[in-house]
Structure 1
Amino acid sequence: MTHGPGLLEHLVSLDLFDTRFVADPFPALAALRRDAPVHHDPVTGLWLVSRYRDVRQVLLDPVTYVPDNAQHVVTRLPVPALRVLARAGFALPPALANNGGPSHAGLRRLVTRFFNAERVAAAVPLIEETARKLLTGIRERLDRGEAGDLGTEYARLLPCQVMMALLGIENVPPTALSEWSDAALELFYGRPSAERQLPLAELVADFYRWLRGQVTSAAPQGSLVEALHGHQLPDGTRLDTPTAVAVCFFVFIAGQSTTGQLISTVLRTTLSDPRAWSRAAAEESFGQAWVEEILRREPPVTTWRRATAHPAELSGTRLPAGAGLLLMLMGTGSDPAVFPEPERLCPHRRNTRHHLSFGAGRHRCPGASLARTEAAVALRAAAQWLPQAKLLTDEEPAMLGLLSFRAPLRVPVHRGC
């Protein structure tokens, strides 16, 4: 069956970019799951797929549901912005997230080697030391009676600095790399005005030129770029420069911006529960389990896109070939058919890791282990170094609200009594 036009509109006013939806998406996601699990959104032109079983089916069937549209721009770029990108030679050929071809498996294996369990475990002291350095200044300010921001001054910078150390990047300030990555997400997944798109395009062009310089220069031994230099495609040819740059473009953004968004959400959620903040400082296993529950309920990557390679059917809705799908990853983590009492954060929930926040199948996030570890270490360090930190709650939290990314933009804190 198909769902009649206007059905969802009678239940909830849905605008994926509306500040009310971004602030509290759960009622709309519940309505989608319940009444319109495969709903055509006239604004984006995408079919919103919201039930866990359907999203998992799509992710595990890369033949029927291809990733070709995963990195398409959401808001049409004006000519001046396109010219800025063209002058930089900007291109994102199929590489990782948008690659359904035969080259994907080898490229994914190459990247996964840099974020495997052994490397992540070895990186824990680096994460801890980076956290201590960033928290020192924040604690000093709080002790002086001033406010601090665990979002911009800690969550945003920690994964960037860790990634730079792991990948041997030294020739760019961490703040520049963060700004470039955030600009890319906003330009491609946001709804910026034409005036805003131009400066964003200039930042993305700078990012692309820098990445191209990294890829075409002599690479440090054992680095990701060196591995890309030596990578052979299935047909025996060497990896071309645009594809190597596209790999780095994805890895550098996913390795810092989305992990920083996760850490911001974890910190804000935990600070809202004083008992959880105390337990995070004292119990390492609690922090790890708590992060997993937040990933289930409120992941930084809220949606992802697929397209139908041929006609298909989901939950009784027929989809034509070439239909664009928006997989509501955040909604699947609150599907009561899979997670009882999904609104409750329950550390050590039996099936917490069954969530789809890192995807599933051949395109599952290769950096999942590093993101989990960084978030858990960042939480424990902050709770230990700032045991008396309290959220400043005088105003509604400003939220990042892009098509596929959501997180607090700030986590303002002060020293409580």
Structure 2
Amino acid sequence: MAMTDMTSCPVHQSFDPLAEPYLADPYPDMTAVREEVPAFYAPSIDMWVITRYDDIESAFKDPGTFSAAVGQRPVFPLTDEARAIIAGGFHASPVMSDCDPPKHTRIRRHNLKGFSARRVSVLEPKVWAKATQLVDDIRPGRVDLVPALTYPLPAYMIFTFIGFPDEDMDMLKSWCGNRIAFSWGRPSPEEQREIATNMVHYWRYCEEFVAKRAADPVDDFTSDLIRIHREDPEAISLEEITNVAYGLSFAGHETTTNFTGNAIRQLLSHREQWDALCADRSLVTAAVEETLRYDSSIIAWRRITTRPVTVGGVEIPADAKILLLLGAANRDPKYFSAPEDYDIMRGDVRAHLAFGKGIHYCIGAALARMEARIALDLLAQRAPGMRLVEDQELTFPANVSFRGPKHLLVDWP
């Protein structure tokens, strides 16, 4: 990759995480830049890119310097039309992944109560039941596992966790289409208009849903937050609960859809490891962790600096937009032996940064792990002979952060 050699200010003119070759397989470029320099400026996205495990972990652990405020802002400026649509009916504010202390500390504390071990454990039989239903519906022959399993399972579970009614799920999923491109990609003006309109619909739905739960709480995550609000309105407001429901309903299924698809693809691409897992399903947990390291659904995340900072000898100014290359960190040879190998038997896998680190560590990590574990366990039981369709052309969403196959064709036995 082309590097401009500038004292304390390396610039990669050719690094573009939205270029077709990178979208198809970002890891060769990630490895190259990690080996070349710990941080650099990328003009294509107007961001400073940090490449190595130690520096990325330090950034996660230093929210005072590396603010989360840009976590969900559009990478590129929106059109006037899209901004007008958003201003007219979308009133989200930072509460989770794009929020800093002290507000983040207050809201996360209450969200953690909702993600209690009890509530997550109560969901496990529901995950098994839904996954079994979806697999029961698959017929022998060529099958796309994304619409058949990896998309509907996490979507159903996170909507159920929040408390959205079953009858609304198709409508809600239709509003999520291409949402990733809005904040993390380069959508066309027409795409911006459509996505912005759907975001307004979704936001208004969340407002009405939270109002209903406020009037009549039940046994779900949203109602848990409502009860906290009733005890102390200053602890968490209804507007903040609406923001949590909106953000969680998106984050809780797109990432797990991609992650589960990545796991199936890697296991079937490494046939001997899939066969070993089918013979000994206790390996499922290890396979989940190795996929998180090797082919995570989030390969990069964003921050913005609050002051000048030096990363690996590279000087980064204040107010610099940052891209943390998690995919590069998770293959850093300093922490992982033979990092370019997919190996569900490796012993150093738990050091991965797939769920982040520090105060913004993914609040839904346990739920995501459980859903992927159940999906793989069930597939190993029911379809050990399934195989990837050879020579299929895999495509991935065009964005800087999220990665998973849009379609995944298998031959179902």
TM-score of the superposed pair, with normalisation by structure 2? 0.92
Q: Percent identity?
A: 30
Cα distance change, pair 200–94 in 1 and its aligned pair in 2 (3 A): closer
Q: Contact 1:306–1:326 at 8 Å: present in 2 too?
A: yes
Are positions 1:409 and 2:410 aligned together? no
The residue number in structure 1 matching 2:108 is 108
Cα distance change, pair 223–129 in 1 and its aligned pair in 2 (3 A): closer
The residue number in structure 2 matching 1:95 is 95
State which drifts further: 391-400 or 318-327. Answer: 391-400
Q: Give how far 1:232 is off.
A: 5.6
The residue number in structure 2 matching 1:27 is 28
Are positions 1:268 and 2:269 aligned together? no
Gap regions ≥5 residues in structure 1? none
Which of 193, 196, 209 is equivalent to 1:198? Answer: 193
The residue number in structure 2 matching 1:181 is 176
Q: Distance in 2 between matches of 1:248 and 1:64?
A: 28
The residue number in structure 2 matching 1:67 is 68
Gap regions ≥5 residues in structure 2? 1-5
Are positions 1:224 and 2:225 aligned together? no
The residue number in structure 1 matching 2:377 is 380
Q: Distance in 1 between matches of 2:222 and 2:62?
A: 31
The residue number in structure 2 matching 1:364 is 361
Q: Match of 2:163, as an amino acid?
A: G
The C-alpha deviation readout for 1:141-189, integer Å capped at 9, x for no partner, is x1xxx42111122100101112233333215433333333343222111
Q: Alignment partner of 2:87: what SS?
A: helix
Cα distance change, pair 281–364 in 1 and its aligned pair in 2 (3 A): same
State which drifts further: 315-324 or 218-227. Answer: 218-227
Q: Alignment partner of 2:315: what SS?
A: strand
State which drifts further: 162-171 or 250-259. Answer: 162-171
User: Residues 76-95 of structure 1 correspond to what in structure 2 (within 5 A)?
Assistant: 76-88=77-89, 90-95=90-95
Q: Contact 1:182–1:257 at 8 Å: present in 2 too?
A: no
Are positions 1:341 and 2:338 aligned together? yes
Cα distance change, pair 155–292 in 1 and its aligned pair in 2 (3 A): same
Q: Match of 1:345, as an amino acid?
A: Y
Q: Give how far 1:118 is off.
A: 3.8
Q: Contact 2:15–2:44 at 8 Å: present in 1 too?
A: no
Q: Give how far 1:3 is off.
A: 5.3
Q: Distance in 2 between matches of 1:192 and 1:79?
A: 14
Q: Give how far 1:227 is off.
A: 3.1
Q: Contact 1:46–1:325 at 8 Å: present in 2 too?
A: yes
User: Residues 89-168 of structure 1 correspond to what in structure 2 (within 5 A)?
Assistant: 90-138=90-138, 140=139, 142=140, 146-168=141-163
Q: Distance in 1 between matches of 2:216 and 2:53?
A: 42
Q: Distance in 2 between matches of 1:267 and 1:175?
A: 25
Q: Distance in 2 between matches of 1:283 and 1:263?
A: 19
Q: Contact 1:167–1:224 at 8 Å: present in 2 too?
A: yes
Q: Distance in 2 between matches of 1:171 and 1:87?
A: 28
Q: Distance in 2 between matches of 1:177 and 1:275?
A: 39
Q: Give how far 1:17 is off.
A: 0.8
Q: Give how far 1:229 is off.
A: 2.9
Q: Distance in 2 between matches of 1:295 and 1:342?
A: 13
Q: Contact 1:281–1:381 at 8 Å: present in 2 too?
A: no
The count of aligned residue pairs is: 405
Q: Contact 1:308–1:322 at 8 Å: present in 2 too?
A: yes
Q: Alignment partner of 1:173: what SS?
A: helix
Q: Distance in 1 between matches of 2:129 and 2:343?
A: 29
Q: Match of 1:285, as an amino acid?
A: S
Are positions 1:326 and 2:323 aligned together? yes
Q: Contact 1:91–1:242 at 8 Å: present in 2 too?
A: no
The residue number in structure 2 matching 1:48 is 49
Q: Contact 2:10–2:39 at 8 Å: present in 1 too?
A: no
Q: Distance in 1 between matches of 2:117 and 2:235?
A: 28
Q: Distance in 2 between matches of 1:92 and 1:315?
A: 36
Cα distance change, pair 385–239 in 1 and its aligned pair in 2 (3 A): same
The residue number in structure 1 matching 2:3 is none
Are positions 1:317 and 2:314 aligned together? yes
User: CA RMSD of the aligned region, Å?
Assistant: 2.1
Are positions 1:249 and 2:250 aligned together? no
Q: Contact 2:329–2:353 at 8 Å: present in 1 too?
A: yes
Q: Match of 2:36, as an amino acid?
A: D
Q: Give how far 1:374 is off.
A: 0.7
Q: Alignment partner of 2:74: what SS?
A: coil
Cα distance change, pair 65–339 in 1 and its aligned pair in 2 (3 A): same
Cα distance change, pair 281–175 in 1 and its aligned pair in 2 (3 A): farther
Q: Give how far 1:27 is off.
A: 1.4
